[in-house]
Amino acid sequence: MVQNAASGTVTLARLYAQQGHWRQAAAIYRGLLQKDPGRAELRQALAEAERRIAESEADDLAPLFREWIELLLRHDRLRRLRSFKRRL
C-alpha cells in the first residue's frame, strides 16, 4: 500500500491499475492531479480507477443482497408455519 499517495508516480499508479489495485492507483492519481491539475490523461485514468472501484463494490454487495432476500423468505415461511401450527 502507498504510504504517501502524493509521492507516487504515474508508472506506479499504472502498475497498481494493471494488477487490479484500483484504490491504490486512484490515490496516486489524485495526488498527481493535485500537483498538476491540467493533465487530462491523469483525470481519465482516475475516472477509470473510480469506475472500477464502484463496479467492484457493487459486485461485493450482490451476494449479500441475495443472502438477505433468502433470509427474508425463510423468515416469512417460518412465520407462516408457526401461525399454521398455532391454529391446529
Helices and strands in the chain: count of H runs, count of E runs: 3, 0
Residues 17-66 have pLDDT tens digits of 999 999 999 999 999 999 999 999 999 999 999 999 998 877 677 788 88
- Reported pTM: 0.61
The domain locations on the chain are: 5-87
Q: b/e string for 39-70 if b means 16 or more Cβ within 10 A?
A: eeebeebbeebbebeeeeeeeeeeeeeeeeee
Measured CA to CA, the distance from residue 19 to residue 36 in angstroms comes to 25
pLDDT band with cut points at 50, 70 and 90 for residue 7: low
